Structure 1
């Protein structure tokens, strides 16, 4: 697979009928679900689960998505999504990059850059990234 950056974390999806919109291709909102799913899978692999987030009273909330849709996906197609942590300021912000590829022809269908802010789960107020986040995420940062 031709990835935009080295060392991607990847996961595969099969496009289901539920993902298809009235234009007969994957609805744009479905890509956000893929983004969320691969982000959590990557986080879990790095050692941070939702249970850890709850214990630490922290969440990484999306503050900005920049998405480029370059080609449609259709029902039954096999897709592979890659993600990288590309920015980590050790204070409040994290950024991920994503690339979605159709496996059959290796065509890139979507690219996304997402910025997150660290907040408390209980109040939603901005808070510093906890040490446990630094330990898990900082070694995974890939430079562009």
Structure 2
């Protein structure tokens, strides 16, 4: 079976990531996920410079997130991102955020994305080669 695209990124919780309660603010978690997802997109063939030239962007159309445990100032975090499933016009990525020191799961997240041609805002089909490259992920979604 082909490998599922997967990427780990690391973050350290900074002052600007925390709220008045001293824990990571929900928007900071999403920023960290965004960094992982952007780098994962590059593995899928959607590099930032190419997107800027073609004006074809993966756009988040749905986010599902579960906050399990809080991260705090100074925590080192690892974000694991992977391509979860592929459909005709959208794809799903999933993310798990853990504290490095004890591997505690802090966040689980799924995001649905669609390719959108700008500036028209026109949804586009996923690249033709994705059907073959990620057939094992399309089959998983069809069974679910």
* 1:37 corresponding residue in structure 2: 35
* 2:91 corresponding residue in structure 1: 94
The 3 A distance-change label for structure 1 pair 36 and 139 is farther
* 1:66-87 deviations in Å (ceiling 9; x for gaps): 1000000001110000011011
* 1:107 corresponding residue in structure 2: 104
Q: 8 Å contact 2:6–2:83 — kept in the other structure?
A: no
* 1:79 corresponding residue in structure 2: 77
Q: 8 Å contact 1:26–1:75 — kept in the other structure?
A: yes
* Equivalent-residue separation in structure 1 for 2:8 and 2:137 (angstroms): 15
* Equivalent-residue separation in structure 2 for 1:141 and 1:17 (angstroms): 38
* Equivalent-residue separation in structure 2 for 1:9 and 1:140 (angstroms): 18
Shift of 1:52: 1.6
Shift of 1:44: 2.2
Q: Which runs of 5+ in 2 are unaligned?
A: none
What is the CA RMSD across the aligned residues, in angstroms?
Answer: 2.6
Aligned residues: 137
Kindly report which structure 2 residues correspond to 1:1-144, keeping only aligned pairs within 5 A, or say none. 8-89=6-87, 91-131=88-128, 134=130, 138=134, 141=137
Shift of 1:55: 3.1
The 3 A distance-change label for structure 1 pair 139 and 82 is farther
- What SS does the corresponding residue of 2:123 show, helix, strand or coil? coil
* Equivalent-residue separation in structure 1 for 2:71 and 2:13 (angstroms): 8
- What SS does the corresponding residue of 1:87 show, helix, strand or coil? strand
Q: 8 Å contact 2:62–2:111 — kept in the other structure?
A: yes
